[in-house]
Amino acid sequence: MRMGPGGGGGGSCVLWNDACGYVWGPRGERISIPMTNFRERQTYYGAIELCTADICAIPTDTANGDWTMIFVEYVREQFPGKRIVLIWDGASYHRGTEMQEYLEGVNYKLPKDEWSVHCILFAPNAPEQNPMEDVWLKAKQYVRKHWRECINFQAVLNLFEEALNTLSFKFEKLRMYMPSLQLI
């Protein structure tokens, strides 16, 4: 996925995080799909960097505590030496034991203002606060516009990832968190 150098300034990097499941079908119709292959499903973890609006995303088997830790480590690798602030929803795997133990480990003996990874939860049931929801929606809309190319599930996934890699995600919603922000 596309990654920028991070621009959080002062050695910090602020990202929003969310997981997204994806399924495809004709517009305007309620879809009932007999499940013959339960593996034709893809989950993504993703984050958007506050200053550059760059996307950091990975496909995963499912959304759970283990994959959450893997994703946070992936984000840390993309922004070496930066302090990471993740603002995300209250999904159980964002708050679970695995994540709590992970955070205790990476922030061990550091004062709170020096934590290498800091997590902040959005208000409950407030997807309108999360810029990653807009990223997922824009990527899904891209897939819908290219529906003729969706000959199989892998083609859908390829289009979805193409959208994540090529579209601009400089949403006004990012300014909600830093009103004086000028997206670069």
| pLDDT tens digits for range 109-156 | 999 999 999 999 988 888 888 999 999 999 999 999 998 898 888 999
Task: Tell me the three state secondary structure of residue 34.
Answer: coil
Flag whether 33 is in a domain.
no
Q: What are phi and psi of 146, to 5 degrees?
A: -110, 35
Task: Tell me the three state secondary structure of residue 115.
Answer: coil
Flag whether 68 is in a domain.
yes
CATH code at 97?
Answer: 3.30.420.10
**How high is the pLDDT of residue 93?**
94
Flag whether 91 is in a domain.
yes
Flag whether 61 is in a domain.
yes
Cα distance between residue 172 and residue 161, in whole Å = 22
DSSP 17: E
**How high is the pLDDT of residue 126?**
87
Flag whether 58 is in a domain.
yes
What confidence tier does 175 reach under pLDDT thresholds 50, 70, 90? confident
Q: Which domain holds residue 119?
A: 12-23+40-175
pTM of the predicted structure, to 2 decimals: 0.75
24-37 average pLDDT score: 64
Flag whether 158 is in a domain.
yes
pLDDT over 60 (residue 24): yes
Flag whether 147 is in a domain.
yes
Please, where are the H alpha helices in the chain? 65-78, 92-95, 97-106, 131-145, 153-166
The tally of domains found in the chain comes to 1
Pick the range with the lowest mean pLDDT from 3-12, 99-108, 155-164, 173-182.
Answer: 3-12
**How high is the pLDDT of residue 105?**
97
| pLDDT tens digits for range 60-73 | 999 999 999 999 99
| pLDDT tens digits for range 92-105 | 999 999 999 999 99
In percent, the amount of the chain with pLDDT more than 70 equals 78
What confidence tier does 14 reach under pLDDT thresholds 50, 70, 90? low
